[in-house]
Structure 1
């Protein structure tokens, strides 16, 4: 856990931190290498996490969840990252519990919530959200995947890429065009099951980092989607996506902060023990200065992210502030981890050392959730 308690963490959340840390250390962390080899988290691990209360912690009890708030999701997310699982189960569960489940909770009708959320909380259905398209990147208004009207629903055609949980998910929220060009013609459709006619999963994509997190291409060829699987109103999908992205970007910022803190802690331990020229690396002034700078940046990032979490939990976090958090913390994370990795010398390039895996995992944080160039555009438009 972080050295000081964040202002948004009360005694209950502190107890949750301890519970999650113990569970993750004993039940999930030992499987990381296997997840990395297989390119995905196994369903048995999802089931164990559900039994421990790590899935859908912020979903109301009447829908099978833990009855908590986004603060509970943030605590779970951060403890998974602190254990080195942010690039595998951490990201997967955040997509599942803190994003997909909340789309259903916020925009689903009563029947949809009762049909999908309890199964997600039990780990029986794994959630994913499919926005990005080949050649489209962060341009959500330019979506080309189309859902044409059909008797009783729609026929969905198109392709998605870079979809987290794409190989394992069996409940996928798909952004598709059901109307005119631009933002007003986008709707959200929920796909159930993984073997539906007209649906095909592509490759489990080989990535630089986050190797234990399955990331996939998805293809739709006149796949039938029932009318009852529309989430929210037809043509209203873009506004729903924009509303939820602020929280998604905060989870990325929280992950970056934990990774900075973890990098400083790992590196400090290493340089205290490692010797060169008859003294420890920590005895060298350069080492001290590098770590002092990294520790300061981690502390500033923590204060920044915590202040925005307080606003988010009070219901007044705006999209611009969330973009600033995502931009600055992910850029700074990469600088801090790079500086720390350098102090490990050649060992910092060996994947058996956590700092090497952190270096590879961190790079994508400046890309997903909207690239940092898009974050700059959002911020600049408000100036």
Structure 2
């Protein structure tokens, strides 16, 4: 008969005995079955879990949702550390919760840093309040816009910001912070530029169509002026990376060009009236705008007319096309002075 050969005893391995991790509970062969439930943990353990629960049920619609979540996670981790250290003497539970505590503290610090109050320069606060805040531009975004590649420059009375046919329009875009500037064409007064408005918005718009152009007007400081100035190339690159801010600038520049067209064709406006943002256009302005539309509609080269308007060269041509235009403006000027 064949018999099974006996194996050497050194081939057998002995499985070590692992005692129960819970004192007082006997070791059982089936780890999934509970022979005896352990007693309830200390109150710190339950408070820690309660903090985690509250953090998870905070509605996301709450403004401080993430900050409250991180605070409750920090509280829960701190309670677990105290419970594991003082009542369980369990090193691994304590170490893991210390790691969680540090990570949540870093997140909380970053969230609080993002919500810190932004200090806008006193000279720029008026521009932000009047132009950017109504369009819901955050203070942090405005600070980025004005802090990276924006400079504040000063012009004394009589100094020129731009000279017609000499100064390039490709260099900068500026907003007047203080003072008043005068715009003229071949020695003829066109309009004034007041605080919290763009100085060269028509040129900025026309530059998007044709590069390498020169100013068609002369812009002179009527009094000591202070303005903030962007490098046009860097500003364009920055706006291309931020769609929201790009749309804000399109709106502001379009509105500024419209205001300049109204003031261009209504020189009888007083300084106080011209500074108002929301004003009704005069009859003189309405006629001018209608002539612009009719000119653009009646010509086949619409782009050339638009470019001419944006470059500031439309005033003379529009006046010449309507012989009675100046008479209407004069009549309206007399009517305003007479209080009619």
TM-score (norm 1): 0.20
Which has the larger helix fraction?
1
TM-score (norm 2): 0.22
Higher RCO (CA < 8 A, seq sep 6+): 1
